[in-house]
């Protein structure tokens, strides 16, 4: 019989873990169906399924509240710090951000109330809430949810009696606490890096608003020392020519690079981060270099591309300078004008922007030296953002690896990785 141990374990922990059903190790409270007539504009926030992301409570402009004076009435449904809440309705389990059955641990210390279609769970004696929560982040758990969910892709639900049948592997309380504390600290580090990244992105957004003229102004609000002249205004057609990309059937696109193959740049390469690159065999001259500027024309018109090498798709177009400009500067200049550019697109189910509409777009820009200065500033800011993003992604991958190796799998009774001093099952 195989030992129930994780794949990786710290020195000193050798004992197998024991099987327990989720319902045996927790107490639970189902959410309350609050009445709309009792809603207030402020007070104690009611947490609904729609207020939850894949792992936390989100901020919302349409939050609902009940009066603070009613807290005693709803005390039973108060969500406490470090409690776990689980959604009993949602999307199918494979749709992580909105999945039915997804667990969220409450790190906030604010007072919340639990709405219907949610259940809160608290571990009983000799079981650790943090440890249980991280057990529920295992693929094994989401796989189990997929076996008990009912309904369609967007309106799935689970019965809580089925939920409590989920089987956990659990060590003694001391090891639970060590593992729960380890992952909580890792989550805190991830949250810290996320806040730093969000702050940098907000700073960039602020600079884009202040370092380019707005509302008819001839100069920006914020400017580097040594520059005082008004920015020149021209129509976009006087600054750039447009050249549309190549149409390439899907069957002529490759997922791996090779001899005579170029990177094929599509809309998804600019709008998502998880799309695998495509390549095409191409011998023509309609290519772009890393210093070329291009724009999305259909779907999400106005999104700017820069820093790519290869061949762009036919729903993108290259901007070829007619006068001396710094393309990096214009990447950020046009980024700052995105709402205006988007307003020029057609309001159809597939928004698109015409070259004729772009031709008459008024653009203010400075002399080439100031362009270079601003372009270099935003490049450095983007490089810093990219560095923090890579650090954050690495931390998330590390957490994923630890989740796989610090809990038993495939019939094991102890983890592969274990803290020193623990040896029991």
Average pLDDT over residues 134-144: 92
Quote the pLDDT of residue 421: 66
Confidence of residue 275 (pLDDT cuts 50, 70, 90): confident
Residue 410 in this model has a pLDDT that exceeds 70 = no
- 333-370 pLDDT, tens digit each: 999 999 999 999 887 778 899 999 999 999 999 999 99
Could you give the CA distance from residue 67 to residue 183 in angstroms, rounded to a whole number? 36
- Cβ neighbour number for residue 392 with a 10 Å cutoff: 18
Could you give the CA distance from residue 392 to residue 403 in angstroms, rounded to a whole number? 17
Confidence of residue 1 (pLDDT cuts 50, 70, 90): very low
Quote the pLDDT of residue 152: 79
- Is the CB of residue 121 less than 8 Å from the CB of residue 184? no
Quote the pLDDT of residue 214: 86
What are the φ/ψ torsions at residue 115 (nearest 5 degrees)? -85, 170
The closest of 89, 7, 107, 6 to 49, measured between CA atoms, is 89
Quote the pLDDT of residue 153: 67
Give me 351's structure tokens. Answer: 């928004």
Confidence of residue 257 (pLDDT cuts 50, 70, 90): very high
Quote the pLDDT of residue 154: 75
Instruction: Tell me whether residue 276 is exposed, middle or buried, using C-beta atoms within 10 angstroms of its C-beta: 0 to 12, 13 to 18, 19 or more.
Output: exposed
Q: What mean pLDDT value characterizes the chain?
A: 92
Quote the pLDDT of residue 15: 78
Average pLDDT over residues 239-266: 95
């Amino acid at each position: 019989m195989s030992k129930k141990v994780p794949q990786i374990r710290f020195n000193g922990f050798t004992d197998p873990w024991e099987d327990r059903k989720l319902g045996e190790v927790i107490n639970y409270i189902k959410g309350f169906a609050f009445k709309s007539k009792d809603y207030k504009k402020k007070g104690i926030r009611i947490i609904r399924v729609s207020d939850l992301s894949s792992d936390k409570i989100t901020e919302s402009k349409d939050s609902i509240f009940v009066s603070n004076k009613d807290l005693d009435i709803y005390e039973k449904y108060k969500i406490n710090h470090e409690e776990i809440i689980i959604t009993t309705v949602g999307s199918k389990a494979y749709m992580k951000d909105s999945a039915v059955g997804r667990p969220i641990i409450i790190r906030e210390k604010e007072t919340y109330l639990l709405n219907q279609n949610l259940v809160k769970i608290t571990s009983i004696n000799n079981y650790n809430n943090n440890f249980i929560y991280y057990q529920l982040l295992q693929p094994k758990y989401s796989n189990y949810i997929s076996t008990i969910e009912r309904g369609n892709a967007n309106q799935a639900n689970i019965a809580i009696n089925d939920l409590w049948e989920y089987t956990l592997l659990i060590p003694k309380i001391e090891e639970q606490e060590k593992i729960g504390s380890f992952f909580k600290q890792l989550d805190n580090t991830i949250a810290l890096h996320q806040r730093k990244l969000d702050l940098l992105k907000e700073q960039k957004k602020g600079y884009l608003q202040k370092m380019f003229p707005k509302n008819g102004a001839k100069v920006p609000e914020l400017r580097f020392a040594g520059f005082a002249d008004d920015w020149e205004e021209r129509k976009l057609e006087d600054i750039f020519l447009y050249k549309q990309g190549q149409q390439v059937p899907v069957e002529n696109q490759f997922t791996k690079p090779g001899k005579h193959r170029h990177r094929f740049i599509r809309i998804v390469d600019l709008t998502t981060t998880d799309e695998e690159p495509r390549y095409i065999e191409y011998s023509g001259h309609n290519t772009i270099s890393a210093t070329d500027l291009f724009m999305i024309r259909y779907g999400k018109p106005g999104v700017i591309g820069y820093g790519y090498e290869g061949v762009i798709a036919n729903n993108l177009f290259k901007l070829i300078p007619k006068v001396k400009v710094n393309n990096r500067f214009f990447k950020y200049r046009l980024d700052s004008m995105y709402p205006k550019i988007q307003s020029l697109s057609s309001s159809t189910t597939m928004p698109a922007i015409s070259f004729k509409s772009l031709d008459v777009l008024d653009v203010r820009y400075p002399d080439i030296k100031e362009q270079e200065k601003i372009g270099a500033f935003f490049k450095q800011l983007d490089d810093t953002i990219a560095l923090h993003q890579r650090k954050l992604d690495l931390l998330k991958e590390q957490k994923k690896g630890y989740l796989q190796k610090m809990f038993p799998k495939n019939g094991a009774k102890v983890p592969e990785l274990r803290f020193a001093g623990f040896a029991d099952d």
